[in-house]
Structure 1
Amino acid sequence: MRKFIVAFFMLAVLVSLVSCEQKESQVVDRKAEMKTSIDSLESVLKAAEGDLDEDLGLQMIDAYVGYAKEFEADTASVIYWYKAGEIAQNIPGKELYAVTYFANIFEDHPNHALAPQSVFLSGVAFDKMGDKERAAVSFEHFLEAYPSHDWAPDAQAMLQMSTDTTDLDTQVKAWLENANKTQE
């Protein structure tokens, strides 16, 4: 009886090891398949010389987000969240999705090199949506979190524009007057 138990235990361990190897192989295959799909879509975009139509953009977003969600621990996931955000903010009506994708970076990876740009671009996306209040909050967050970043002067300018309650016509007139004074 004891030999039977030992043999059964050994068989269970062997089946478990084979099963784990198969799962790892499937994960590697799935990653490779998804990266190939992303590379293919990026090649289409490159061939179009960066001219992104909405259908291609949505396909690319799906591919990037799918990979980032499925392989969260992979270093490429942060880059794919960023790329999804960049594309989404350039598709009318998808700006809020861009903010969500960027938030995955600066909330989960605040020390990543793309975190500052993600905060800044969240503000830009809010600004494109006409949500000046949330744009201002994003730019303030950027300036607090990354005060010495190269984009800090741009964030300060965007913050000022976001909080300026003067209408656009008045802003343009003031800018033109200032420009004319500088030329004189």
Structure 2
Amino acid sequence: MRKIFVASVLVFLAACTLTEKQPADPRQKALQRIDSLENQIKKAIQAKPTETDVTLAMYMIDAYQVYAETYTQDTLAPIFLFKGAQIYEGALHDVPKAMTWYQQVFAQYPKSSIRPMALFHKANAMQTLGDTTNAIKNYERFIKMYPKHAFADDAQGLITLIRHPNPVLKDIMSEEPKKATK
């Protein structure tokens, strides 16, 4: 009888332990991963501000993408896509990929507060790639859709600058940054 009782207690304790080790809510787990990677990136930047940890950047982009694809209706999805685009553009210098992600935010999340900046950055990416015609169209679209936005004047200034006849300025503005090589 005592052996049955001890065995029952052990089974009960094992069941409790297994329940505690169950993975957390998948969404929370994904958010924890993103938070952890963002902290690692901050530390890497503080340690070596002039170097890009390409592997870490790609892990971050992957985490953002998985979250956005899994939780498409979550309000964080467009923000994470936007952050991924910024990593592509700023850290990895993959402007075409960044432009695609900015477009995705703009097209798929019409109610997102980040949407205006996605359009502005998309236009800026086009300008960086030398596609000034489409850059101007997108800056004009930005001004038309968001006339009171803090960046509306910037968009107008960039249109004026693109149209400026000075070839030196045009060369500087359309110069694509070098790709990360690490």
CA distance in 1, matches of 2:141, 2:165: 20
Q: Which amino acid aligns with 1:41?
A: L
Verify the 8 A CA contact 1:133 1:162 in the aligned structure 2: no
The runs of 5 or more residues in structure 1 that have no matched partner are: 1-24, 173-184
> Does the Cα contact within 8 Å between 2:126 and 2:134 map onto a contact in 1?
yes
Cα RMSD (Å)? 2.5
CA distance in 1, matches of 2:97, 2:26: 25
In structure 1, the residue matched to 2:3 is none
* Matched pairs, number: 147
Q: Distance in 2 between matches of 1:40 and 1:160?
A: 42
Measure, in 2, the Cα distance between the counterparts of 1:104 and 1:148.
23
Unpaired stretches in structure 2, ≥5 consecutive residues: 1-21, 173-182
Does 52-61 or 62-71 show the bigger shift?
52-61
SS at match of 2:110: coil
Tell me how far 1:142 sits from its aligned partner.
0.6
Contact 2:34 2:63 in 1 (8 A): yes
Residue 59 (structure 1) aligns with? 59
Partner of 1:181: none
> In 1, distance between residues paired with 2:170 and 2:80?
40
Distance 1:76 1:169 in 2: 38
Indicate if the aligned counterparts of 2:106 and 2:116 stay in contact, CA closer than 8 A.
yes
1:104-146 CA-partner distances (Å, limit 9, x unpaired)? 2222223321111111111111222222222212211111111
**1:95 equivalent in alignment to 2:91:** no
* 1:175 alignment counterpart: none
TM-score normalised to structure 1 length: 0.70
1:44 aligns with 2:40: yes
Asked whether the equivalents of residues 68 and 81 of structure 2 are also in contact (C-alpha less than 8 Å), the reply is yes
- 1:131 is matched with 131
Q: Tell me the percent identity.
A: 28
Contact 1:95 1:129 in 2 (8 A): yes
> Which whole-Å CA distance do the structure 1 matches of 2:41 and 2:26 have between them?
23
- Work out the CA distance in 2 between the residues paired with 1:150 and 1:61: 28
Aligned match of 2:115: 115
TM-score (norm 2): 0.70
Do the aligned partners of residues 30 and 127 (structure 1) sit closer, same or farther apart at CA in structure 2, a change above 3 Å counting? same
What CA distance in whole angstroms lies between the structure 2 residues aligned with 1:121 and 1:114? 11
Cα contact 2:99–2:122 (8 A) shared by 1 = yes
Higher RCO (C-alpha 8 Å, min separation 6): 2
Which structure 1 residue ranges, 4+ long, deviate > 3 Å from structure 2? 49-52, 163-166, 169-172
